[in-house]
Amino acid sequence: MKRDMILITGASSGIGRAIALHLAAPGVLLHLGGRDPDRLEAVARDCAARGARALTRRQDVRDAEGMAEWIGGAGTLDLVFACAGITASTAARAAGAPREAPGQVRRVLDVNVGGVINTVLPALETMSGQAPDGRGVRGRICAIASVAGLVAFPGTPSYCASKAAVDRFMVATGGNTARDGILLSSVCCGFVRTPMVAANDFPMPGLTEVDDAAAAILRGVAAGRRRIVFPWWLVAGSRLMDLLPPRLAELYYSRQPAGQAGSMPETGGMSS
């Protein structure tokens, strides 16, 4: 897999940081984006210590114009990873059923869906003008979805919806872009040990170490897989659960820790 020119959003921590470190090597140029300049510079230094050249940009993925300017001005791009994301849960109320605040719903969708769109669209424009390699590939784009996109947890409705949208967009769009030599991948993973899950005080089945997750993602991108899944048994089980009538599935989901109100930070936190 050609990997000389790489752009990563959400690169200051979590999966984005792990991917940057895995790919850092002599001759590699990394464009690293994130919201925390100090953490971003620390990642850049770690990548430089491995021989890569790392350029950082403080960039909110919700800013469509800023993202287009950054990605469009980066030059040739072989790999683009959309890793920025947030999670949040419903909150208990004094009266009535648990609910997400309107502002929280909009923020989760703006970051998780809008941020991916703001990354993928300008990356497609850039890669469309690039010459294909010996295998006919002009570039590869990968976005982090989640196994949450395959289920409907009452505790995290906007997060589930956002990740479902990311997965469907990447998989469906990838069928068209592959004809032009641009390969798209969606990552449907379970819990990964990152700052996003650090506050979770409930069992996380299939918890994957972040370095193992990065390695699995890079193997899948190199193989050109449209959808990258791990752990497979968690994804398979989630797919089967989603075939059940909603009311029946909710009998199970509502008894799980992640299905409860307040199971995750109410306002969410950036995964990277």
Tens digit of pLDDT for each residue in 56-108? 999 999 999 999 999 999 999 999 999 999 988 888 777 888 889 999 999 99
Structure-token match 């990964």, residue found: 192
Tens digit of pLDDT for each residue in 189-215? 988 888 777 677 677 888 889 999 999
Integer Cα distance of 164 and 159 in angstroms? 9
Integer Cα distance of 83 and 111 in angstroms? 10
* Residue 269: band (very low, low, confident or very high) from pLDDT cuts 50, 70, 90: very low
Integer Cα distance of 5 and 93 in angstroms? 48
List the one residue out of 7, 244, 272 whose CA is nearest residue 139.
7
Mean pLDDT computed over 203-231: 93
Alpha-helix residue ranges (DSSP H) falling in 27-156: 37-49, 64-72, 102-109, 115-128
DSSP track, 13-45? SHHHHHHHHHH--TT-EEEEEES-HHHHHHHHH
Q: Are 9 and 84 in contact (CB under 8 A)?
A: yes
Enter the pTM of the model: 0.91
Active site residues: 159
User: Parallel, antiparallel, or unpaired: how do β-strands 192-193 and 79-82 relate?
Assistant: unpaired
